[in-house]
Amino acid sequence: MLLFAALSPLSVSGNNAQTDAPPPAEDDKSEYWDIMRMVEEGVSGPIADWHYYWKDGLRIDSPDKNFTLKINLSIFLDGGYISADEELDTAFPKLEGPALDFERMRVSGFGTVYDWATFKIDIDFADVQDIKDNWFQFTKLPFIDHFTVGHMKEPISLEGWASSKAATFMTRALPTDAFWTGRNIGIRRHALEMDGRLTWAVGAFLNTGSFSKVGDARDRISDANGWNLTGRITYLLWYEDEGRRLLHLGLSYSHLFRDSLETETPSQLWARPETLITDERLVDTGKFFSDGADIINPQFAMVTGSLSFQGEYYHFFNKAKVLGDPKFWGFYFYGSYFLTGEHRNYGKRSGTFFRLQPKQNFRPRQGGWGALELGARFSFIDLNDGAIRGGKEANFTAGLNWYFTRNTRFMFNYVRAYIKDRRTPPAVDSGHAHIFQARFQVEF
């Protein structure tokens, strides 16, 4: 970890360096700035004098900058230990024990075409090759604003809509994991209104999931089981001091079009116990057929200096008369506090939060130790209703984040998971687990 921290200045662009940080030591000053200047200036060629340089990632610009491309590599290394009581250990013999794995090794490319379009592609090489984002966005269509086509996130959920690189905790909360519709192939319109206080987005998507070649039925494009109509609207009721104080309100809705008579691919809802070091799902509906569903998702967030709060509620309405039209629900609420005085960064155009820039990067010789954040979250999910008994789970999570730079941080989470009333095999009456996990995260 300390080795990566020492190398972390290489993963930060020149314009992200802290102006209030002391300069390098006298004996390092000349060599340091010479290297940084060479890297940022880059070289030209070999194709028609295109410019190749480093600025918060590898960048390639055409001579007239009508085409630009930025390439990044992001890595998440997760490790930890799970302790389970006797009932959970019997039901899930693979749950307990240590684990260490690369959760993410993702190469991403983001570019612009003239001044009227942008594009993005993300490929994750951790465990299984998986295409995440693969879209093309038109930014200057008359009367339309931003219009996106391709494989992308559906506009639902505050936590799901945000990048995991900016998340306060190592994983999304239980209900987000279960009910968030994720990425699908489709079209999406996104707009910013009322001087940046209101955003809205709407889209239609084929329910394909990711492009991974393996996984559950909902994760294979060949087994698409319907399509989704999804929308999200947010409003900043309060916004002061460039986002240091704000109150965000939002509402998402998705209608899932399904036909149990015309598809061989069933639906399934499940959630991991807020960790990626195990594939066990402690609450799980099992596979069931449905004629459609509706998801309602109100959300809020408040930032008041270094202290912030965030929460969401989900209600999932199924149309499956044979099963009693089961309804599932869940919520989470959390708070975070920066011990070093920073505050969470909010993006008006996206209506969500993005990555933090520490006041001082991790440079101990110059008195900079990065940023420290404490967080606590409670989440709950209920997958019991009608003829389905997927179980209930309540989790408490405590977290510590140490930001070395904007692109490098260390995370530690402790999760206490409590599961009850699960009847889908393996059945669990009442069980609990303790999860200790850490992550090193870096982006080049």
Full DSSP string of 165-189:
GG-SSSS--HHHHHH---EEEEEEE
- Taking 50 as the threshold, does the pLDDT of residue 63 lie above it? yes
Count of domains in the chain?
1
Tell me: the pLDDT tens digits for 158-197?
999 999 999 999 999 999 999 999 999 999 999 989 988 9
- Taking 90 as the threshold, does the pLDDT of residue 4 lie above it? no
Instruction: Calculate the CA 132 to chain-centre distance.
Output: 11
pLDDT band at 32 (very low <50, low <70, confident <90, very high): low
| pLDDT reported for residue 286 | 92
- Name the burial class of residue 400, with classes exposed (0-12), middle (13-18) and buried (19+) by CB atoms within 10 angstroms of its CB: middle
Domain of residue 249: give its range. 2-443
Cβ neighbours of residue 286 closer than 8 Å, sequence gap 6 or more: 268, 388, 390, 424
Helices (H), 13-103: 26-41, 86-91
CB count within 10 Å of CB 69 equals: 18
189 has which bridge partners? 147, 202
| pLDDT reported for residue 33 | 56
- Taking 50 as the threshold, does the pLDDT of residue 253 lie above it? yes
Quick one: which of 153, 168, 170 has its CA closest to 356? 168
Instruction: Give the percent of the chain with pLDDT over 90.
Output: 65
Tell me: the pLDDT tens digits for 407-418?
999 999 999 999
Quick one: which of 180, 103, 184 has its CA closest to 148? 184
CATH of the domain at 267: 2.40.160.10
**CA pair distance 4, 25, nearest whole angstrom:** 20
Contact between 252 and 351 (Cβ < 8 Å): no
E-assigned strand segments in 114-244: 117-124, 130-141, 145-153, 183-193, 198-206, 227-240
Tell me: the pLDDT tens digits for 259-298?
777 666 788 999 999 999 999 999 999 999 889 999 999 9
